[in-house]
Structure 1
Amino acid sequence: MPTPQTTLDRLESEAIHIFREVAGEFDRPVILFSGGKDSTLLVHLAIKAFWPAPVPFPLLHVDTGHNFDEVIEFRDQVVAQHGLRLEVAKVQDWIDDGRLEERPDGTRNPLQTVPLLDSITSHKYDAVFGGGRRDEERARAKERIFSLRNSFGQWEPRRQRPELWNLYNGRHRAGEHVRVFPLSNWTELDVWNYIEREGIELPSIYYSHQRDVYLRDGMWLTEGPWGGPRPEETVLHKTIRYRTVGDGSCTGAVESEASDIREVIAEVAASRLTERGATRADDRLSEAAMEDRKREGYF
């Protein structure tokens, strides 16, 4: 008698189907890979989808220059371990040659859009995999698995296509491309349960560790090349972990004693805030902060 499929089996099967669909339908796909948990899961699923053949498309990281050292080391480790191809678009290069200007607040997360779109154009990528999930944020909940972007890389909600019976429409005009989200139907808890089941390694900062942090707008931030703390902000030595990783200037930690995956899963299951809602300052700029950025070309 066949073993009944679990929720994780169904999510894995859907994601693998999406990877294979894109490989058959597009000419130049690419996976966005930062070394964070969701993009690491994407790489794991891509390897499964094409095993024993190599992953047939490269990885792209838009590097703000404000990433955590542990995450960059892990990124390079994964690339070397699996023999993958990695293209790095450094925000600093765009700042140095005048295509971008440093923001007064020091955060570079919003500055990723131009290097991302420039890289897509210069490499002629027609499908770009991202690790976005619908449970993360309201704007991402609106987006389809195959999300058409116009020739300026912008998201147009009215051009979203129906996706009935797992049929995906990748048709696009010259200069347009499609963002693809194989993890759309996963939750943060699904991700962690799958990571446990598959034994997937992650950067150490996803688990509890001690770090000097200061409190700003209800989030624990750490000092780095982006600056801080301000004179009125007190630095404390705390036991924390990161639920999401990104530009260090706007990615907050949470106080946590969860030092292994089972403890993390228990913590996530009890949480009533998504990881972006709890730890990403860039999503708090306005009610529609993420949607505004997506319209400009951000993920």
Structure 2
Amino acid sequence: MTTVASTTAGLPTDGAPHLSHLDVLESEAVHIFREVAGEFENPVLLFSGGKDSIVMLHLALKAFAPAAIPFSLLHVDTGHNFPEVLEYRDRVVARHGLRLHVASVQDYIDRGVLRERPDGTRNPLQTLPLTEKIQSERFDAVFGGGRRDEEKARAKERVFSLRDEFSQWDPRRQRPELWQLYNGRHAPGEHVRVFPLSNWTELDVWQYIAREDIELPGIYFAHEREVFRRAGMWLTAGEWGGPKAGETVETRLVRYRTVGDMSCTGAVDSDATTLDAVITEIAASRLTERGATRADDKMSEAAMEDRKREGYF
């Protein structure tokens, strides 16, 4: 006797399809992108070529397929970014026919508007180029890749984060977000920062990258690199001011958990050359990526919150 498989095999007893936690996170992010597209006139997506912005762009492409995404991209270029990441950024923009705005920290330094810091770090100098680009282009919603697990100031954020006419953040003006209802109301001159990955963790991001087979810059995987030790981190030598006297350059097998300004983004010792190996490594880690590899967040206990109040993400 031939047995016919039930059409409900593998489904819960109520007949509803099973959704993995990645399915739920993806659905939430897609909903946020579509909500912003319907509610705002001129959104923009921050895109640096880092893994979180790569996942955001992937989600945005899914949200509006087969149409093009209804907004452009924005990168605040410190001038000290990793060449591998910039090459990836430009390649992806060209592949999808996207428009990329670049706000250059170097331009502001050349004009005398900003000054180099003694430590060579330019991450704190990003705020003015970012906020002026938002104002000049009249962006009313800005997608960022911040996640609540990264850092305690970011854990205070809502998905829709209202910024005043000076792009400043006031935690007292955060709005309730019940049942995935988002309030994008803002006065002229104000805008909203939007975080579609708020409820994701670093591990979620990597698992999603593996599931979707998303291409990443090779810098995220273990490779031999010339680095030197400073403040407990392996930094890449460069024109920004490293290494100093007494800091020895050596070749090590490392990878990056996060990418940003070379002067403050450290590598970690790793032999993880595949997605599976990276996921295993992240699952065993007890330090957040920013806590382990970002010197700019270690300047003070409230470094990130202070920068957010000034207009940074």
Same fold (TM over 0.5): yes
Pairing 1:114-263 to 2, within 5 Å after superposition: 114-263=128-277
TM-score where L is the length of structure 1: 0.99
1:225, CA displacement in angstroms? 1.8
Q: Is 1:46 paired with 2:85?
A: no
Residue type at the aligned position of 2:264: C
Contiguous gaps of at least 5 residues in structure 1 = none
Measure, in 2, the Cα distance between the counterparts of 1:81 and 1:224. 29
TM-score where L is the length of structure 2: 0.95
Q: Is 1:266 paired with 2:286?
A: no
SS at match of 2:205: helix
Measure, in 1, the Cα distance between the counterparts of 2:261 and 2:92. 20
Structure 1 counterpart of 2:309: 295
1:87, CA displacement in angstroms? 0.7
Q: Is 1:16 paired with 2:52?
A: no
- Equivalent residue pairs, number: 299
Measure, in 2, the Cα distance between the counterparts of 1:218 and 1:53. 46
Deviations 1:135-193 (A, max 9, x none): 00000000000000011100000000000000000000000000000000000000000
Structure 1 counterpart of 2:13: none
Deviations 1:56-115 (A, max 9, x none): 100000000000000000000110111111011111111111211111111100000000
Which one has the largest radius of gyration?
2
Deviations 1:201-242 (A, max 9, x none): 010000000011111111000101212111111111100000
Measure, in 2, the Cα distance between the counterparts of 1:209 and 1:82. 28
Pairing 1:73-152 to 2, within 5 Å after superposition: 73-152=87-166
SS at match of 1:138: coil
Residue type at the aligned position of 2:123: N
Measure, in 2, the Cα distance between the counterparts of 1:71 and 1:234. 25
Query: Aligned to 1:7, which of 10, 21, 40?
Result: 21
User: Greater shift after overlay, 224-233 or 189-198?
Assistant: 224-233
Q: Is the 8 A contact 2:119 2:241 kept in 1?
A: no
Residue identity over aligned pairs, in percent, reads: 73
SS at match of 2:158: coil
Residue type at the aligned position of 2:94: A
Pairing 1:64-75 to 2, within 5 Å after superposition: 64-75=78-89
Q: Is the 8 A contact 2:22 2:208 kept in 1?
A: yes
1:3, CA displacement in angstroms? 3.1
Structure 1 counterpart of 2:12: none
Measure, in 1, the Cα distance between the counterparts of 2:308 and 2:94. 31
1:127, CA displacement in angstroms? 0.1
Q: Is the 8 A contact 2:49 2:86 kept in 1?
A: yes
Runs of 4+ in 1 over 6 A off after TM superposition: none
Deviations 1:234-284 (A, max 9, x none): 111100000000000000000000001000000000000010000000000
Measure, in 1, the Cα distance between the counterparts of 2:248 and 2:112. 35
Structure 1 counterpart of 2:77: 63
SS at match of 1:133: coil
User: Greater shift after overlay, 155-164 or 224-233?
Assistant: 224-233
